[in-house]
Amino acid sequence: MPQKEESFFRETIRFALITLAIVLPIRIFIAEPFIVSGASMEPTFYTGDYLVIDQLSYHFEEPKRGEVVIFRYPYDPAKFFIKRIIALPGESIDVEGERTIIRSNSNPEGTLLNEPYTLGAKYGSYVKTLKDNEYFVMGDNRSASSDSRSWGPLPKKYIVGRAFFRAIPLSKAGLFPGSINTNF
């Protein structure tokens, strides 16, 4: 009987080590859980929404306008924020009231950004030209969001990843939640 107990114990330890060897790298380098807290992304995300973050893709491709990203707050990297990418490196952004215009070298007149995901509140004015590796991010609930309008462009190095999967609430579960193709 002692040999069976020792064998069971050895197999349990072996199973746990193999599981850790598989799960930990995935958790650390590929996907990370994130629970939304706050009203800045309403109506797209609400407090308590459970997301899985894709931490790998941005090592191979650049973030795109309309994607929802999770990042470390530049002035306190221990805090994580969730916002939508509005403008890309090298572009200029002009926010006035409810309108957002994106300008670039190839489109100096600019394009009015269609933002059906916002709550429609007026949200002040802001004009900025982004440098390389800078992104302009805003919450969908503009009147309740601390974002690039408050603390400036987001350096790429602070981006952790994009919202890959919403698990909770189950009624809204799905891949790439909140992402909207707004490239022009």
Q: Which sequence positions are flagged as catalytic? A: 40, 83
Burial class (CB in 10 A: 0-12, 13-18, 19+), 152: middle
Q: Is 65 helix (H, G, I), strand (E, B) or coil?
A: coil
Distances (CA, A) of 156 to 22, 62, 173: 29, 9, 28
How far is Cα 123 from Cα 161, in angstroms, rounded to an integer?
26
Closest Cα partner for 134 from 88, 176, 177, 69?
A: 88
Is 73:116 a contact under the CB 8 Å cutoff? no
How far is Cα 144 from Cα 140, in angstroms, rounded to an integer?
9
Structure tokens at 160: 């952790």
How far is Cα 181 from Cα 184, in angstroms, rounded to an integer?
9
